[in-house]
Structure 1
Amino acid sequence: MSEQVVPVIWRGDCLEVLDQRRLPGEEVWHSYRDSVGVFEAIASMQVRGAPAIGISAAYGVVLAAFAARDEVDWRIAIERAIDELAESRPTAVNLFWALRRMQGCLEGIGSGSEACAVLEREAIRIHEEDAAANRRMGELGADVIQEGSDGPVEVLTHCNTGALATGGHGTALGVVRTLHERGALSMVHMDETRPWLQGSRLTAWECMREGIRCSLNVDSAAATLLASGRVRWVIVGADRIVANGDVANKIGTLNLAILARHFGAGVMVVAPASTLDRETPDGSGIVIEQRDGNELRRVGERDIAPAGVAAFNPVFDVTPAALIDVIVTEQGVVRNPARHTNPLASLV
């Protein structure tokens, strides 16, 4: 069922992008035939979620290669497009991982036509590998949750980490899907996730389509929900996991981790290995994207705050490894990352 929900479709000569800003009211698809259009789709959040961003950028490189196929300086044109795509979103490490992988394919290539074929194969491979990795993460994460459970569990998630954010099935929501498939899920509670409302617009849309029992809550109700003792796990994704196990994820994740620790719920971070950033020692080195304050001052075309009021609008926050109980990737599980000198060492 979950693979019926997809954020992007490669058509062989164009990339079709589901405009997630329009969900759940409308399912609007845009077709892009050049890397500039893919850049805009990523920057404007038509496509979002770290894995889906990386996949889209890879196809953007392919489109740049198609456009430069017959140029004398085709290699320079492709590398310029890679540099430009890297500027679309600064925090999601999958973006840079995918672009480095695409750039590596250019070594030893002798013509623009050859570059097109090689790059297209690589982008498709990145897409397919992510879908398979999501399935694996879903199994591993569900196994951990079921270890200490004597029946179906209630969990809480934040933002959207489902098929819409990935190559298929999802990361954190992939664990939820797997629990649902096993009959081990009683309820998934979903933060609405201001200001883009990915929880209410996207996660709820995915869950409702697939018959997953779900309940939406305002972000500020998470403390009350956790205080009830019903929620056993907070399950979230990640845009970047650095060497010491600190995690950058959608703003509000840190709040949930603090609340979960206080009320005795576990915190599970689920993300593909492409999200691992072993070069950055700790969370203080993560660049946090700041977006336009109008995202807070307006909902659609409607003003909900006084014009010109100052706004603080970081897209992500950093959750210290000490507040995380489990990190899950397709390469394995790390429990209590803060207790390890090199928590990512086993994920190779």
Structure 2
Amino acid sequence: MTDPIDYARYDRIRPIRWTGDTLELLDQRKLPFEVRYIPCTTCASVAVAIHALIVRGAPAIGIAAAWGVVLAARELDASGAGAGLDAAAAAERLEPAMQQLNAARPTAVNLAWALQRMRRALSTAGEDWRGVLLREARAIADEDLAANHRMGKLGAGLIANGSGVLTHCNTGSLATAGFGTALGVIRAGVAQGKVERVYAGETRPWLQGARLTVWELQQDGIDATLIADSAASHLMKTGQVQWVIVGADRICANGDTANKIGTYQLAIAARYHGVKFMVVAPSSTVDMATPNGGKIEIEERDQAEMLGLGGTRTAAEGVRAWNPVFDVTPSELIDAIVTERGVVERPNRVSMQTFFGP
């Protein structure tokens, strides 16, 4: 059967490029007005890029970190410290670099997951441990893209013809290896003629929806309407939206999900207005070791991000701000969690264990 999705048409952007000796990261702080790639030649520069939101989105962060380990191995060789090392000794030497990467963004489980994959690959490597790391990093990126295509089709299968959808933050090609998670579902829904209306919340304070999501959809010829975050409930009341479709940075054993701040209030509003709520993320985002959302470490960033816009202060001097980056949506507000493994409808501890348990 012919795949109805034209991936070449709906998947033009790549935020992460490996040149063979340099990791190039699309600087998402500059979008939509400047398309610029930042070259990273050291592990430390990758960690800085992750922390500074040059690269963002849970899957993309994990992919970048994997390439950061490859760069750390090359730094060992460049300094002469890698000469004669076997895989076990290399693992010991590379561990500080992995810890540095892991500390860059604590909430996104994909970061720790990707680093653990690199550790496992190294633990079974022979003399070709450098090549093993390179191949593992490439596999993480390739598998993410394939998973996004799969999730797009699964999620679109839940959407009725003629639907309107609302998304939050950026979950597209910019946040992944390509195509996207929640935005991949929207792309697939548009390609199949099911999604007629796409709305994107601006996503304060970094404006990922305004700067990234609508720009990214524009590159693929998908018409999208930007709304203020505070307009979401009113939009739902008009009946123009049938699904809220978001990503996740961590999914707990009971189905609670952490995502960009503002997601929780969308889930509450969606339930009140009878709008369905879908979370889309690769299985690497599932953390069965975290029992519920109350156990998730919520990252907080500099309050200055809330006190101004584009370098111009908008709040009076002396005003304080609280700037959590994520919030947790309880599983009882979620209609479906979509991963490349399948769809978990009305997630709870039992259904999550069935899908993702050992």
Give the TM-score normalised by the residue count of structure 2: 0.93
- Cα offset, 1:344, TM superposition: 4.1
Measured in 1, the distance between the counterparts of 2:235 and 2:20 equals 46
Aligned pairs for 1:51-130 (under 5 A) are 51-69=59-77, 70-71=80-81, 74-111=90-127, 114-130=128-144
Are 2:280 and 1:270 equivalent residues in the alignment?
yes
Aligned pairs for 1:136-215 (under 5 A) are 136-145=150-159, 149=160, 151-215=161-225
Q: Is the 8 A contact 2:29 2:53 kept in 1?
A: yes
Deviations 1:187-241 (A, max 9, x none): 1100000000000100000111111121000000001000111200000000000
> Which sits farther off after the overlay, 269-278 or 63-72?
63-72
- Cα offset, 1:28, TM superposition: 1.1
Measured in 1, the distance between the counterparts of 2:200 and 2:218 equals 12
Q: Secondary structure at the match of 1:155?
A: strand
Aligned match of 1:29: 37
Letter paired with 1:44:
A
Measured in 2, the distance between the counterparts of 1:312 and 1:185 equals 36
- Cα offset, 1:308, TM superposition: 3.3
Q: Is the 8 A contact 2:344 2:352 kept in 1?
A: yes
- Cα offset, 1:342, TM superposition: 4.2
> Superposition RMSD on alpha carbons, in Å?
1.3
Measured in 1, the distance between the counterparts of 2:23 and 2:166 equals 33
Aligned match of 1:341: 350
Aligned match of 1:289: 299
Aligned match of 2:5: none
- Cα offset, 1:156, TM superposition: 0.3
Measured in 2, the distance between the counterparts of 1:160 and 1:85 equals 22
Deviations 1:4-33 (A, max 9, x none): 211110111110000000000101111011
Measured in 2, the distance between the counterparts of 1:211 and 1:108 equals 45
Q: Secondary structure at the match of 1:345?
A: helix
- Cα offset, 1:110, TM superposition: 5.0
Letter paired with 1:306:
A
> Which sits farther off after the overlay, 2-11 or 231-240?
2-11
Q: Which runs of 5+ in 2 are unaligned?
A: 1-8, 83-88
- Cα offset, 1:115, TM superposition: 2.3
Q: Secondary structure at the match of 2:316?
A: coil
Deviations 1:13-57 (A, max 9, x none): 110000000000101111011100000000000000000000000
Measured in 2, the distance between the counterparts of 1:85 and 1:160 equals 22
Are 2:55 and 1:47 equivalent residues in the alignment?
yes
Letter paired with 2:259:
N
Q: Is the 8 A contact 1:47 1:53 kept in 2?
A: yes
Q: 2:20 aligns with which of 7, 12, 25?
A: 12
Q: 1:243 aligns with which of 238, 253, 256?
A: 253
Measured in 1, the distance between the counterparts of 2:120 and 2:318 equals 46
Q: 1:318 aligns with which of 309, 315, 328?
A: 328
Q: Is the 8 A contact 1:138 1:177 kept in 2?
A: yes
Q: Which runs of 5+ in 1 are unaligned?
A: none
C-alpha change, 1:203 and 1:4, in structure 2 (3 Å) is same
Q: Is the 8 A contact 2:218 2:224 kept in 1?
A: yes
Give the TM-score normalised by the residue count of structure 1: 0.95
Deviations 1:56-93 (A, max 9, x none): 00000000001113415643331110111000000000
Measured in 1, the distance between the counterparts of 2:138 and 2:184 equals 21
Q: Identity of aligned pairs, percent?
A: 52
Q: Is the 8 A contact 1:14 1:31 kept in 2?
A: yes
Letter paired with 2:20:
G
Measured in 1, the distance between the counterparts of 2:98 and 2:307 equals 33
- Cα offset, 1:108, TM superposition: 4.1
Measured in 2, the distance between the counterparts of 1:2 and 1:87 equals 34
